[in-house]
Amino acid sequence: MRKKKPIDNGPGVADWIVSYGDVMSLLLTFFVLLFSFSTIDAEKWKQIVQSFSGKPAVINIPTENEMALINLDTPNGSSSSIISDMLKKDEEMNEEEYTEENPPDKLEEINNITDIVTKEDALYEQLVKLSMMEENQWNLEILKTDEAIIIRFDNQILFKSGEADLDERAKIVLISVMDVVNKYENIIKKVSIEGNTDNVPINNSLYRDNFELSSARALVVLHYIIDRSEFPEKKLVAVAYGEFQPIDTNDTDEGRAKNRRTDIVLFKSSEIIEEVSR
């Protein structure tokens, strides 16, 4: 009898491909197990969530149970549902303008400080404009530091030589200045009225030395502000420096003239100082 020819089914799959597929399957299973045992990096998880939502989000790190559900290939799309729920929570928190770095109470504090700094700038600008009014020619000098705004009066504006009595022009100057300052009283911690002189010894029967003269001038200004201004008395203080806080040399007439001055120093609220020092 004639033997049948074997049926030719074409070339078969090479044995090495089967082995290669088995190895790949085992490696994939191994890495899946490693991932399921690993901890979630917060920053990477944040990036993943942002890629889904399309905008920065506040991240709730999933619990181990939630991650276990996500890692499992569960039916009915339960892992997808968990991710959607997390994204929904993050979006709700963003709508409330909450972040981990700036919780609501911190945002309110930042807004308050910003408001104070803005008002402090407005006060400085108004004082500068007042000092530059040509019709007044008061020769006020307005200075600004991290701690205070300084309103500097040449003593020739306020007092006659060797005296501590305000003339009528000086009263107009002080009231005009305090009208501006009163508008910003809530951002001023303290007002220091500081009397200064040059180093020329005083020679009259009214004052023993430059300390007494500078003290008398500071007190006269303070009492005039109390009597004619609505600024709170508890925030006012008078200081006498005499000749010991010069801003220029006492070796020339010009330098001594600069040293003879009365400063009204507006100390800022502590919130401003803390913000600037950060």
- 3-state SS assignment for residue 30: helix
Q: Cα 252 to the chain's mean position, in Å? A: 43
Across-strand partners of 150?
143, 265
Residue 34 has a pLDDT of 76
Each of the 278 residues of the chain gets a pLDDT tens digit; together they read 565 555 555 555 677 777 888 888 888 888 777 777 666 666 666 666 566 555 554 445 555 555 555 454 444 545 455 555 655 665 555 555 445 555 555 445 555 556 677 899 999 999 999 888 755 567 789 999 999 999 999 888 899 888 999 988 889 889 999 999 999 999 999 999 999 999 999 988 899 999 999 999 999 999 999 999 999 999 999 999 999 999 999 999 999 999 999 999 999 986 444 444 44
The tokens of 139 are what?
A: 């020769």
Residue 74 has a pLDDT of 47
Helices (H), strands (E): how many in the chain? 10, 5
Residue 273 has a pLDDT of 41
Quickly list DSSP for 36-93. HHSPPPHHHHHHHHHHHHSS-----PPPHHHHHHHHS--GGGHHHHHHHHHHHHHHHH
How far is it, in rounded angstroms, from Cα 224 to Cα 214? Answer: 16
In order of their start, the domains of the chain are 15-95 (no CATH), 107-277 (3.30.1330.60)
State which amino acid sits at residue 199: N
Residue 90 has a pLDDT of 56
CA angle 194, 267, 167 (to 5 degrees): 35
Residue 4 has a pLDDT of 57
